[in-house]
Amino acid sequence: MLMPKKVKYRKQQKGKRRGKAWRGSEVTFGDYGLKAVEPAWVTDRQIEAGRVAITRFIKRGGKIWIRVFPDKPVTKKPAETRMGKGKGAPEGWVAVVRPGKIIY
């Protein structure tokens, strides 16, 4: 799965999911692209699943460029834990995707 090799801080704040992509909104590699129409957090597993599906469809007939990278850690508290007591441990990695961003 995709994830950063090293990060300065283990935990990040959530941030906002509003606004449009102001970078990476045009197809620069290849002839076709997959563009996001809604804001979302795309996990490393979702990026990999999309890559596998596209690769199967084109059957080695082309090249795929992944234009997003999951560099945001998502934390989760253990099950049956009371509220409070700090932020949970990092659980996975997501890429912040805004409308207009080319994903593949």
Structure-token pair, residue 100: 């207009």
Spatial neighbors of 85 by CB under 8 A, at least 6 apart, are none
**pTM for the whole structure:** 0.87
**Of the CATH numbers 3.90.1170.10, 4.10.490.10, 3.40.1390.10, 3.30.70.20, which one belongs to the domain with range 33-75+89-104?**
3.90.1170.10
Specify the DSSP element, H or E, that contains 95.
Answer: strand 89-97
pLDDT at 1: 82
Parse the chain into domains and list their residue ranges: 33-75+89-104
pLDDT digits (tens, 9 = 90+) for 56-88: 999 878 899 999 999 999 999 999 999 999 999
Q: Which residue has the higher pLDDT, 43 or 2?
A: 43
C-alpha to C-alpha distances, 68 to 46, 79, 100, nearest whole angstrom: 11, 30, 12
